[in-house]
Structure 1
Amino acid sequence: MKFDNLWYDKHPLALALAPLSWLFCVIVGVRRLAYKQGLLTRHHAPVPVIVVGNITVGGTGKTPLVLWLAQFLKQHGFKPGIISRGYGGRAKKWPQLVHANSEPHLVGDEPVLLARHSGCPVAVAPHRLKAVQSLLENNDCNLIISDDGLQHYALHREIEIAVVDEIRRYGNRRSLPAGPLREPVSRLEEVDFIVTKSRKSQANPLLNETGFITTTNRYPVKLGSTDTMPSRDSICRIHPKAFSMLYYTKPLRRVIDDNVSQPLPTLRDHTVHAIAGIGHPAPFFNCLRENGLKLHCHEFPDHHHYCQTDIQFDDNLPVIMTEKDAVKCKPIAGPQHWYLPIEARLPARFGERLLELLS
């Protein structure tokens, strides 16, 4: 059984797992209180830390936002470095400094992607403070961006940014393991920014001309499979710290040679293989379909370690994958393999507010 069926649908097993969810909530609450009361040590980095995370399990679009932040901050005179847990990496020693040519199976796929496209130094370690120390010892950084780590309270942060999937939101609103929540939805009231992700091709009824999330809808709003009225802790209300992040697709690039590209519409009405090993692959597949492609979909677990049989097929059809998958598939790819880059964009007011907080 896929967890999506349990967490984002009305599944009877969710009710059976409710006692474990209550226990999880108690543990999360006690742990957070211990950090607030100083019973557990919170370490301060010598430079400001911005944490980009989420309150749910699975992909919500953190990595594109981290890339946007890195570029924006560099344009405004900062020298950011990026830290990550290195999830999926199998290195025997931590921390690890990540470079554009680092091996994804050692340090994780997302850190390599960040190193290739951010132009910033990147360090990974399960203990974020060790990643910070390694980054600062080896690079001239005056600000740290943490890719994920909203729940890593051992590292003090100046700014918290929570990313929320515009469509799936909080699923059944239950905590792990009965639902996707790492922390209660009320946690969003404490962060500095709430960023929701949308694609450019989608009309966003919650976005007004200022870039704020807002709504005049007085009818129930779909949250996963559960209809509920907008509540105090819902993003579906006027909220001065909520912004919409739009995804823009860029031309396809050949996995084995980034210099070779082709516009996605050139494959309209063509049949292709679509590969995705990410937290929530449906938007990727839908994007290809909306551009007129006919798909043979191949879905893999997030952070999947690919082998050649995963991406080679007994035909001459093009194969399209996500950029995160391309990082891992380059050594085993051929000329028929392409990836679809995406770019995140945020409203000007988001950047202005970010600079205000940093000053």
Structure 2
Amino acid sequence: MQAWFEREWQRLGGGALVMLPFTILFMAATWLRRKLYAAGLLRAWRARVPVIIVGNITAGGSGKTPLVIAVVETLRERGWTPGVVARGYGRVPSTEHDPSGVVRVFPEVATPEHFGDEPVLIARRLHVPVFISPDRPAAVRALLEAVPETDVVVSDDGLQHYALARDVELAVVDGERRFGNGLLLPSGPLREPVSRLAGVDAAIVNGGNSDAVPAPRQFAMRLGKEVFVSFSGEERTPADFALAARGLTVAAVAGIGYPPRFFDHLGRLGVAARAFPFPDHYHFHASDLRMPGVELIVMTEKDAVKCTAFADERFWFLRVSAVLPPEFDAFLLERLAAARRATKAHGPEAA
């Protein structure tokens, strides 16, 4: 079903037309909700520290999580103490883990099934406090109460979660697929109209710049600094891994928003593999990856956190990082400095 929607979202075909009445309803609801917040009839909660939103206006993967990781690393290098909030999409809520609806992700014990794959990946990669909840203000309040030294919050996704006031909005745009057929859900991939980008602080274009992005600022992003990592912790450069994989039967597995990006990336690194796409946030089982005759299984880092319990010596994942121009760091830090000055001048709206 997901693959069918992906195909329909890239063209103005019969599927888009059939769903057009639902798209009109979604468009009206989206417009009304934003207007209510803009008019103050619905009130956004503001934290006592700056909040950075890393989101997008399209459904499916665009590169948000690598950007979140890059932003957090930049902030730490510059002396900030960041925390992260997320929804935890794809997880199975548990009264044992989150009786209040908000839960902290401890990297040593958190599992993707109950905490979501992206929050677990961020917590394990960065070792910063990560709190998840569909209610973003509640997640931020819990984070600031539990870790009071936090002086900036980064939200993984949440561009459309207007209940949480924000100081910086970063919208990630897929430089390859861009905005598909230009229609809102369910006829197209858009959560909000493309014109929404005119109101963000910057668009981060994964795969290069694009004149089709109407944002006030635009920065190119690419995925690089690649390292292949085995589940036992061994690391290899792309050249070494490609050489070791030559002549072997290799399977490439991806349960992300846009699997072809991962498969193409492997090809550019010289790794020839048979592609096995799965739905985004797919919860893998050992039976999915038995794959008799396959000598190497390569997957994304996001998928790897879901396969730890049954991985064998064939399993490797590709770790990548977002590569951004130096101008982006300067831009982000200037925005945060302005937010901090505004908070000192007027005081926070909430503790």
Give the TM-score taking structure 2 as reference length.
0.89
State the shift of 1:271 in Å. 3.1
What residue in structure 2 maps to residue 135 of structure 1? 143
Change (3 A) 1:151 1:23: same
Match of 2:233 in 1: 258
Contact 1:265–1:292 (Cα < 8 Å) also in 2: yes
Decide which structure has greater strand share: 1
Q: In the TM superposition, what whole-angstrom CA distance separates every residue of 1:155-183 from its partner, at most 9, and x where no partner exists?
A: 00001000000000000000011000000
Pairwise CA distance, 1:249 = 4.5
Amino acid aligned to 1:122: V
Q: Secondary structure of 2:273's match?
A: strand
Q: 1:166 aligns with which of 160, 166, 175?
A: 175
For 1:210, the equivalent position in structure 2 comes to none
Question: 1:197, CA displacement in angstroms?
Answer: 0.8
How far residue 254 of structure 1 moved from its aligned partner, in angstroms, is 0.7
Amino acid at match of 2:93: A
Structure with greater proportional helix content: 2
- 1:265-344 aligned at under 5 Å gives the runs 265-266=242-243, 267-268=245-246, 270-344=248-322
User: 1:10 Cα shift?
Assistant: 3.8
1:141 aligned partner, one-letter code: T
AA at the equivalent of 1:146: S
Give SS of 2:308's match.
helix
Say whether 1:56 aligns with 2:58.
Answer: yes
Tell me the alpha carbon deviations over residues 171-223 of structure 1, each in whole angstroms, 9 at most, x when there is no partner. 0000011000000000000000100112xxxxx5x4xxxxxx6xxxxxxxxxx
Aligned-pair CA distance for 1:103 = 1.1
Q: Which residue of the partner structure matches residue 121 of structure 2?
A: 113
Residue 346 of structure 2 is matched in structure 1 by none
SS at match of 1:146: strand
Q: The residue matched to 1:287 in structure 2 has which SS?
A: helix
Evaluate the alpha carbon distance shift between residue 155 and residue 311 of structure 1 in structure 2; reply closer, same or farther with a 3 A threshold: same
Out of 240, 243, 248, the position equivalent to 2:219 is: 243
Is the contact made by 1:253 and 1:339 (CA closer than 8 Å) also made in structure 2? Answer: yes
Q: Are the aligned partners of 1:83 and 1:122 in contact in 2 as well (CA < 8 Å)?
A: yes
Q: CA deviation at 1:240?
A: 5.4
CA distance in 1, matches of 2:36, 2:254: 39
CA distance in 2, matches of 1:282, 1:322: 12
Q: Which moved more, 1:241-250 or 1:49-58?
A: 241-250
Moved more, 32-41 or 48-57: 32-41
1:104-162 CA-to-partner distances (Å, cap 9, x unmatched) read 11110100100011231110011011111111111120100000000000000001000
Report how far residue 292 of structure 1 moved. 3.1
Q: Which amino acid in the other structure matches residue 315 of structure 2? A: H
Deviations 1:60-109 (A, max 9, x none): 00000000000100111110000000111223222110121211111101
What RMSD, in angstroms, separates the aligned Cα atoms of the two structures?
Answer: 1.6
SS in 2 for 1:195: strand
Aligned equivalents of 1:196 and 1:8: distance in 2? 18
Aligned mates of 2:323, 2:235 — CA distance in 1: 24
- Conserved? CA contact 1:268–1:291, under 8 Å: no
Aligned 8 A contact 1:164 1:195 in 2 = yes
2:14 is equivalent to residue 12 of structure 1:
yes
Q: 1:185 to 1:305 in 2, by over 3 A?
A: same
Structure 1 residues 310 and 125, CA, compared in 2 at 3 Å: closer, same or farther?
same
Task: Give aligned pairs, total.
Answer: 325
Give every structure 1 segment of 4 or more consecutive aligned residues whose post-TM-superposition deviation is greater than 4 Å: none
Q: SS of 1:253's equivalent?
A: strand
- The Cα shift of 1:11 comes to 2.3
Give the fraction of aligned pairs with identical amino acids, expressed as a percent. Answer: 42
- Report the alpha carbon displacement of residue 16 of structure 1 after superposing the two structures with TM: 1.9
- 2:163 counterpart of 1:154: yes
What's 1:220 paired with?
Answer: none
**2: CA distance, partners of 1:178 / 1:268:** 43
C-alpha distance in 2, partners of 1:293/1:77? 39
**Do 1:269 and 1:294's aligned partners in 2 also have CA atoms closer than 8 Å?**
no
Partners of 1:11 and 1:258 in 2: how far apart? 47
Partner of 2:288, secondary structure, is helix
State the alpha-carbon separation in 1 of the partners of residues 19 and 299 from structure 2.
Answer: 35
Which residue of structure 2 lines up, in the alignment, with residue 196 of structure 1? 205
1:316–1:175: structure 2 CA closer, same or farther, 3 Å change rule? closer
Describe the SS at the equivalent of 1:149: coil
User: In the aligned structure 2, how far is the partner of 1:48 from the partner of 1:311?
Assistant: 43
**Post-superposition CA distance 1:212-245 (Å, at most 9, x none):** x6xxxxxxxxxxxxxxxx6xxx22x8x6510001
1:222-233 aligned within 5 A: none
Which of 343, 347, 358 is equivalent to 2:325?
Answer: 347
Contact 1:264/1:291, CA 8 A, preserved across alignment: no
Letter paired with 1:68: A
Which residue identity lines up with residue 161 of structure 2 in the other structure? H
Give the 3-state SS of the residue equivalent to 2:276 in structure 1: strand
Inter-partner Cα distance in structure 2 for 1:240 and 1:13:
33
Q: Aligned partners of 2:236 and 2:333: how far apart in 1?
A: 35
Amino acid at match of 2:218: A
**Which residue identity lines up with residue 281 of structure 2 in the other structure?**
H
